[in-house]
Amino acid sequence: MEAIAQDIDVRTKVIKRNGREVNFQIEKIIAAIGKANKEVSDLYKMNDYQIVAVAENVAKRVAQSTHAVSVEDIQDMVETGIMEMRAYEVAQIYVRYRFKREISRKSNTTDDGILALIDQVNEEVKQENSNKNPVINSTQRDYMAGEVSKDLTKRVLLPEDVVKAHEEGIIHFHDADYFAQREHNCDLINLEDMLQNGTVISETMIEKPKSFYTACNITTQIVAQVASNQYGGQSFSLAHLAPFVDVSRQKIRQQVIAEREAVGDDLDENKIERIVKARLQTEIESGIQTIQYQLVTLMTTNGQTPFVTMFIYLDEAEEGQTRDDLALLAEEVFKQRIRGIKNEKGVWVTPAFPKIIYVLAEDNITERTPYYDLTKLAAKCTAKRMVPDYISAKVMRELKNGNVYTCMGCRSFLTVEENIRNANGTNKFYGRFNQGVVTINLVDVACSSNGDMDLFWEILEERLELCHRALQCRHNRLKGTPSDVAPILWQHGALARLEKGETIDKLLYGGYSTISLGYAGLSEMCQRMLGVSHTDEKGKEFALAVMQKLNDKCQEWKKAENISYSVYGTPLESTTYKFAKCLQKRFGIIPHVTDKNYITNSYHIHVTENVDAFKKLKFEADFQKLSPGGAISYVEVPNLQNNLPAVLSIMRYIYDNIMYAELNTKSDYCEECGYDGEIRVIEDTSGKLVWECPNCGNRNQDKMSVARRTCGYIGTQFWNQGRTEEIRDRVLHIATPEFDDADMNVNASVK
């Protein structure tokens, strides 16, 4: 029988149940069928040629698959193949064997996954998070705990219908690996309170810092502590550090005067000011460097660098000296980020964190404004290192009741709640947080309705209620949590100053925290239902109606329960691949719908769709309005380091048209040949997507530095095959670096 099948050569990858990715082996199918075949009487036995025919047919289907198939998929194919041979008795034995094995596995669902993780062969986990290195011990500890948590969550903590929908890719219950621990998602740190009024870190009193440098050190410790007590992103404002610049200025001035008096030097004011300015600049450089280097070298208990965002909004600081000092800090942040950080080989590369957001406002957006030089420096930084990202103060005020504030990480925004205010009467945002996310797969809704519009709305209603029940599980899991579980968050100012033993329940209601209904695949949804993209007028009308439905449901739930449900444009990092695989399994390959190994993030225009940068931003702005819980748009651009006017033009367009956007540049380095440019994705002989240096052909990921924007954050640890395919497929929204500033008023060139 082996001789019959010896010419079969299938190199497609198979994903085992423990997440390990291995080569397809036809011999295993032949052996499995043969084992079942031996258990039936001679009258009902299959002959060798029949067994091989079934195996060959499965092999062909696996070879034709556009993604790594799972063991379950292959077993389904084998079962169908045996039935097609009318070998019903053999099929019965084969099904019985599968059932026994399934029961055996369910008695312990974590061992294989953990062992595969330790052996570094669990491909799903290895590529789950593009900023976590799965090889190092601390990350493995976190992943091992996560495997146990996911197992407990699925078997005990969640309803069966939610678990089933999650596993089938109908919805995604995010971060199940932290659900059992009663942890939450994203935070907007009240750094101002913690620095001005003191805090406690690891049972140690931290008083108000007496210098800017000390404030920077304390900030990094706060960020690390917060990251170790939740699982999502966090943000802090650089404006909260700005007052400490003058604290250091006055301190340095006193020191300079004392030094000069001690040696009998004159107290000429001009000399003193020059010395103070020079020393202060040195301290600013050291402080910002401390934040940059400590944040990228810190390792939290999650086994990763903190997912932290630095917010820079000049008008957040008091006009005058404090605002000017904030501008000094921002300038130093941009200069240091442009330089980058040195990797282990001593090469300057792009760091993933902290993410930086720079607010475009009336005082920095045109050449006649006082802080325009800082905006030009921000443009240079974006062209080189992909950050900062940009918030338009103008558009945000229109959408957020006159407020301008940062997201809680990469995109999750708090809603404006008029009943939640600071002592001075302003709306309160710092100290608030997000309870968690559940995402609805809109492509699955469309495919399940088979293009029937009435059925679509009926299924959407059912799926939204399923998401609602899943979100209630997240909320109820947090209820009753005592403040003692995370003192830095709940007792010492990061989010609140509750008493010991007090529960966090009051922070879960009334809008103090949000909880997010995520959504994915708006583009493919329109293709399945209408045969057009949502960029088509007919598709846009339908897509906006669906978005309005999501918002209406959130408002309905909020009114009934006093919980701040909000629509959230899900980033989809590894989930994009999971959803795509589930769709292909359930519905097969449908052109423009399920024919990729990824689906589109939230409302974004499909990555393969040719559209210029300005049209893309203008179009997506309408959808940002309907994603109040978080959304970010991007434009894909070539290397624009030698064409900063192009970057500035896009920034001005963002200011006028869309609340939150970013530019995706390329920032790679090959350690084999020293190539400093874009490292590209190619397909190897086995069909797997790999990264290759265009200069020397290097494909060793350990010998290259690649940074790509994948979900709002910059990823640097590479990605699963689905996300890698999505990165490969991205078209440029500005075709060449030769971009004229006047193009903003017409059309940018289209690829």
DSSP 643: -
- The pLDDT of residue 742 is 42
- The pLDDT of residue 438 is 98
What CA–CA distances, in Å, run from 115 to 17, 109, 144, 349?
12, 12, 9, 34
Sole residue written with tokens 């948590």: 149
Q: Which residues 6+ apart lie within 8 Å of 296 measured at CB?
A: 305, 341, 351, 352, 353
**Element containing residue 72 per DSSP (H, E):** helix 71-84
- Concatenated DSSP letters of 685-729: TTS-EEEE-TTT----GGGEE--EESSSSEE-S---HHHHHHHHH
Average pLDDT score, the chain: 89
**Element containing residue 140 per DSSP (H, E):** helix 137-152
pTM: 0.84
What CA–CA distances, in Å, run from 134 to 124, 125, 138, 339, 572?
11, 8, 9, 28, 19
- The pLDDT of residue 546 is 98
| Averaged pLDDT for residues 362-390 | 97
- The pLDDT of residue 302 is 58
Domains in the chain: ranges and CATH: 13-107 (no CATH), 187-399 (3.20.70.20)
> Which segment of 67-76, 153-162, 206-215 scores lowest on mean pLDDT?
67-76
Contact between residue 120 and residue 161 where contact means Cβ atoms under 8 Å apart? no
> Which segment of 500-514, 705-719, 720-734 scores lowest on mean pLDDT?
705-719
Which of 73-77, 113-117, 126-130, 283-287 has the highest average model confidence (pLDDT)? Answer: 283-287
| Averaged pLDDT for residues 38-56 | 92
- The pLDDT of residue 9 is 46
Contact between residue 274 and residue 319 where contact means Cβ atoms under 8 Å apart? no
Beta strands in 361-480 (DSSP E): 389-392, 433-441
Structure tokens at 425: 């009467």
| 521: alpha, beta or left? (left if phi > 0; alpha if psi -120 to 50) | left
Structure tokens at 720: 């699963």
Looking at per-residue pLDDT, the higher value among 144 and 10 belongs to: 144
- The pLDDT of residue 473 is 97
Q: Quick one: which of 644, 616, 600 has its CA closest to 737? A: 644
In this prediction, residue 743 has a pLDDT band, given cuts at 50, 70 and 90, of very low
Structure tokens at 656: 């006028």
| Averaged pLDDT for residues 658-674 | 92
pLDDT digit string, tens, across residues 323-340: 999 999 999 999 999 999
**Could you tell me which residues are beta bridge partners of residue 630?**
412
- The pLDDT of residue 119 is 57
pLDDT digit string, tens, across residues 272-295: 999 999 999 999 999 999 999 888
CA separation for the pair 466, 587 (Å, rounded): 21
Q: Strand 433-441 vs strand 513-520: parallel, antiparallel, or unpaired?
A: parallel
| Averaged pLDDT for residues 376-404 | 97
| Averaged pLDDT for residues 432-453 | 98
Q: Is the pLDDT of residue 744 over 50?
A: no
In this prediction, residue 8 has a pLDDT band, given cuts at 50, 70 and 90, of very low
Looking at per-residue pLDDT, the higher value among 468 and 100 belongs to: 468
Question: Beta-carbon neighbour count of residue 745 at 10 Å?
Answer: 10
Contact between residue 440 and residue 458 where contact means Cβ atoms under 8 Å apart? no
CA separation for the pair 376, 390 (Å, rounded): 13
Looking at per-residue pLDDT, the higher value among 567 and 677 belongs to: 567
CA separation for the pair 637, 607 (Å, rounded): 12
Percentage of the chain exceeding pLDDT 70: 88
CA separation for the pair 112, 18 (Å, rounded): 5
CA separation for the pair 129, 136 (Å, rounded): 14
Q: Which amino acid is at 567?
A: V
pLDDT digit string, tens, across residues 463-497: 999 999 999 999 999 999 999 999 999 999 999 99
Question: Please, is 585 exposed, middle or buried when counting C-beta atoms within 10 Å of its C-beta (0-12, 13-18, 19+)?
Answer: middle
CA separation for the pair 498, 493 (Å, rounded): 9
**Could you tell me which residues are beta bridge partners of residue 308?**
234
Q: Is the pLDDT of residue 6 over 50?
A: no
CA separation for the pair 558, 465 (Å, rounded): 13
What is the C-alpha end-to-end distance of the chain, expressed in Å?
A: 53
Question: Beta-carbon neighbour count of residue 86 at 10 Å?
Answer: 12
Look at residue 106 and give its three-state secondary structure: helix
Which of 102-116, 664-678, 689-703 has the highest average model confidence (pLDDT)? Answer: 689-703
- The pLDDT of residue 3 is 45
Contact between residue 346 and residue 339 where contact means Cβ atoms under 8 Å apart? no
Q: Is the pLDDT of residue 604 over 80?
A: yes
Percentage of the chain exceeding pLDDT 90: 72
Q: Which residues 6+ apart lie within 8 Å of 130 measured at CB?
A: 573, 708, 710, 715, 716, 717, 718, 719, 723
| Averaged pLDDT for residues 361-382 | 97
Q: Any idea how long the chain is?
A: 751
Structure tokens at 457: 């709305």
In this prediction, residue 107 has a pLDDT band, given cuts at 50, 70 and 90, of low
Q: Is the pLDDT of residue 672 over 60?
A: yes
Catalytic amino acids? 185-186, 408, 410, 412, 434, 568, 573, 712
CA separation for the pair 369, 373 (Å, rounded): 9
Query: What backbone phi and psi angles, to 5 degrees, belong to 280?
Result: -65, -40
Q: Is the pLDDT of residue 132 over 70?
A: no
Question: Please, is 588 exposed, middle or buried when counting C-beta atoms within 10 Å of its C-beta (0-12, 13-18, 19+)?
Answer: exposed
In this prediction, residue 525 has a pLDDT band, given cuts at 50, 70 and 90, of very high
Residue ranges of alpha helices (H) inside 298-437 are 321-339, 372-385, 393-399
CA separation for the pair 653, 667 (Å, rounded): 24
Omega within 30 of 0 (cis) for the link into 388: yes
Q: Is the pLDDT of residue 146 over 80?
A: no
- The pLDDT of residue 435 is 98
Query: What backbone phi and psi angles, to 5 degrees, belong to 434?
Result: -115, 135
